[in-house]
Amino acid sequence: MLLYLRLLRESLAFAMSALINNKLRTLLSLLGVTIGIFSIIAVLAAVDSLDKKIKKDLSKVDENTMYLKRFSFGPSEVPRWKREQFPDVTYDEYQYLKDAVPLAEYMAFQIFTKNEMVKYEDNSVSGINMVPASYEFADIQSLNIADGRFYNEAESNSGKAVAVIGREVAENLFGTQNPIDKKIRIYGQRFTVIGVIEKQGESTFGPSNDITIIIPANFIRRMYGDNNSFMTPVIVIKPMPDADPDAVKADITQKLRSYRGIKAGDISNFMIDILAGFTDMIDDIIGKMNMIGWIISGFSLLVGGFGIANIMFVSVKERTNLIGIQKALGAKNRFILFQFLFEAVILSLIGGIVGMLMVWGIAEVLTNALDFEFILSFANVMIGTGLATFIGLISGILPAIAASKLDPVEAIRTGM
């Protein structure tokens, strides 16, 4: 054990000596390892941060939540021209399914529509995400109301002009005032603010709740009717906790086909997407991003490995005389082998540490500059350290073997 500690100490001394005495050569040689480790860890950190953000945004929604509509969120076997002929889901179908599907814990009617401008006295905010929805929407989305409340069943069914607004909307319209019971103007109508949603921050999955206003869907239906190009109705279903999502989906499919009078053998003229399928698609995309990052960064690591090998071959040549003397004094081959192998690993680790420090610095800057948290996890640091060690071992093995096999007499003579 003491022998290996001595080897490590001497190898560290030789590595630092190489850095100090041959700064430019060492810098250029280590640049490949630094860039390679930086590239891989930067990609892994960015993808991990994105994945964590997406999962956090989706964490409040049950992954078994379903969306019933005339279009599909993902690829579909049904031709596009046929999908474009599908009818929209209706409010009557929502009411029918709500009573007909016992395995659904909550079912909400929601309308996808365009952004709007909202006014309060002389203040106005544009580009607000409007979410007309029935009262069950709050339970499905697990909305946290910071101030006030969400509208109830009676207000939802009657289409009362009430609104639940996002935190950023509240701050821009009311400043430090309490927004509850204030009147805002949307669609040329006055709405009473009854609730403010808890601050969410930036969202990677759709618009943030901070710039969202939720109103009863029946208000929009009463005002504009059910057939408008700027409105796309959907039915959102949250199954019972112990229910099989596929069984719930099959039940909804059978009930709606019967309600619409679709004959056996004909395709369903509606789509049901389960949120879990969407998260699986995201995981697949993130996996592919990681793989592409590894492939691209691998070329930098390859160049870095050649750089380390170059340093070590030069180091062996410069210390040929010293190697001969060590062997003449009784140093065994493995002592020389491990000495140069440790030196290669230490040099590679230095390049890797610099690369990871660069990732950490950039992550800190971007986290402070943007409303998005970039994370350099301990797992990624371990991956970077392991890669740097591996590159050092692979790059240093041939020079170390060459050094260990030198004949002591020839080595001393060559070095003189």
The pLDDT tens digits of the residues spanning 32-81 come to: 788 888 888 888 888 787 777 776 666 666 678 889 998 877 666 777 77
More confident residue, 316 or 263: 263
Q: Note whether 102 and 150 are same-domain residues.
A: yes
Residue 73 covered by a domain: no
Q: Per this entry, what is the length of the chain?
A: 416
What is the rounded distance in angstroms from the CA atom of residue 214 to the CA atom of residue 156?
11
**Phi/psi at 126 (nearest 5 deg)?**
-105, 170
Q: Note whether 369 and 336 are same-domain residues.
A: yes
Q: Note whether 148 and 115 are same-domain residues.
A: yes
Residue 70 covered by a domain: no
Helix (H) or strand (E) holding 94: helix 91-100
Q: Last residue of some domain: 213, 235, 269?
A: 269
Q: Note whether 254 and 292 are same-domain residues.
A: no
Q: CA separation (Å) from 91 to 65, 183, 215, 227, 259?
A: 19, 28, 16, 12, 13
Q: Note whether 243 and 341 are same-domain residues.
A: no
Residue 13 covered by a domain: yes
Tokens of 256: 């709606």
- Over 60: is that where the pLDDT of 416 sits? no
Q: How confident is the model at residue 405 (pLDDT cuts 50, 70, 90)?
A: confident
Q: How confident is the model at residue 226 (pLDDT cuts 50, 70, 90)?
A: confident
The structural domain count of the chain equals: 2
- Total Cβ atoms within 10 A of residue 345: 22
Q: Note whether 260 and 288 are same-domain residues.
A: no
Residue type, 163: A
What is the rounded distance in angstroms from the CA atom of residue 132 to the CA atom of residue 236?
13
Residue 17 covered by a domain: yes
- Total Cβ atoms within 10 A of residue 208: 20
Q: Note whether 241 and 104 are same-domain residues.
A: yes
Residue 105 covered by a domain: yes
DSSP code of residue 116: E
Domain that holds residue 386: 2-57+281-415
Q: Note whether 212 and 92 are same-domain residues.
A: yes
Q: CA separation (Å) from 221 to 95, 106, 350, 360?
A: 15, 21, 65, 51
Helix (H) or strand (E) holding 215: strand 212-216
Residue 71 covered by a domain: no
Residue 66 covered by a domain: no
User: Which among 398, 225, 224, 243 is positioned nearest to 309, based on CA atoms?
Assistant: 398
Q: How confident is the model at residue 281 (pLDDT cuts 50, 70, 90)?
A: low
What is the rounded distance in angstroms from the CA atom of residue 147 to the CA atom of residue 154?
20
- Over 80: is that where the pLDDT of 407 sits? no
Residue 259 covered by a domain: yes
DSSP, collapsed to helix, strand or coil, labels residue 339 as: helix
Q: How confident is the model at residue 131 (pLDDT cuts 50, 70, 90)?
A: very high
Q: Note whether 372 and 254 are same-domain residues.
A: no
Q: Last residue of some domain: 269, 291, 313?
A: 269
SS (H, E, C) 382-413: HHHHHHHHHHHHHHHHHHHHHHHCCCHHHHHH
Q: Last residue of some domain: 226, 243, 269?
A: 269
Q: Note whether 315 and 350 are same-domain residues.
A: yes
